Amino acid sequence: NAGVTQTPKFQVLKTGQSMTLQCAQDMNHEYMSWYRQDPGMGLRLIHYSVGAGITDQGEVPNGYNVSRSTTEDFPLRLLSAAPSQTSVYFCASSYSRNQPQHFGDGTRLSIL
Amino acid sequence: AQKITQTQPGMFVQEKEAVTLDCTYDTSDPSYGLFWYKQPSSGEMIFLIYQGSYDQQNATEGRYSLNFQKARKSANLVISASQLGDSAMYFCAMRMDSNYQLIWGAGTKLIIKP
């Protein structure tokens, strides 16, 4: 029973590099989200999806792209990494808007 | 604008005592939901309890209960008989029915003393 799986768990990038954070869920959840968590702050929504082929921006979308080609996968792409994107990134999914979100274990990303 | 406020950055509580973690919210939406999550030092986010704005009774889940006071726009988490394993960050979050986004508070760091 995998739940929400995020890879990698840790990553160090240089400024200007691009990369994709992977997120997969095996619970057939329609709703998926990407958050970032910075020290002393709550989670902030980057992008979210309400189903395959449907994505929308959250509170802090700049510098990130997402796509949702399947129900299971929701990758987050950093286009040109900046030090301000150093953070812990969480992927989450839920069956519906009224259900609690299930979180992955997070990806700790450092941009040098 | 929608907002969640957790006024207690940190708390120390003696083991076996009850603890109340404060959460106030601001929204003009009539329909919304409130969530509490726990984040241990290992980093994972664990769902604890949910309260809908139209729920007549306060939510309870084992040792967790939610003291929901709609008129005061507060949704405090009560942990009864605290345990050492309750030491963690606790986050309050709000979802409006008008959209999917969850708005999160800054969290409260709870430390249970033996």
CA distance B76 to B21: 6
- Residue A105: which of B44, B105, B106 has the nearest Cβ? B44
| Residues A64, A17, A107, A26, CA torsion sign | positive
Binary contact (A98, B106; C-beta < 8 A):
no
Binary contact (A41, B95; C-beta < 8 A):
no
> Is some CB atom of chain B closer than 8 A to the CB atom of A44?
yes
Q: What is residue A1's predicted lDDT score, i.e. its pLDDT? A: 62
pLDDT in tens, B56-109: 899 999 999 999 999 999 999 999 999 999 999 999 999 987 777 789 999 999
Binary contact (A45, B102; C-beta < 8 A):
yes
Each of the 112 residues of chain A gets a pLDDT tens digit; together they read 679 999 999 999 999 999 999 999 999 999 999 999 998 778 999 999 999 999 999 989 999 999 999 999 999 999 999 999 999 999 999 998 778 899 999 999 999 9
Task: Please give the mean pLDDT across all residues of chain B.
Answer: 94
Q: By C-alpha distance, which of A46, A96, A99, A91 is closest to A73?
A: A91
Q: What is residue A33's predicted lDDT score, i.e. its pLDDT? A: 95
- When pLDDT is averaged across residues B25-41 and rounded to a whole number, the result is 93
Q: Using a CB-CB distance cutoff of 8 angstroms, which residues of chain A are in contact with residue B88?
A: none
Q: Which amino acid is at B42?
A: S
CA distance A32 to A45: 11
Q: Which of residues 3-22 of A touch B (CB under 8 A)?
A: none
Q: What is residue B4's predicted lDDT score, i.e. its pLDDT? A: 94
Q: Using a CB-CB distance cutoff of 8 angstroms, which residues of chain B are in contact with residue A39?
A: none
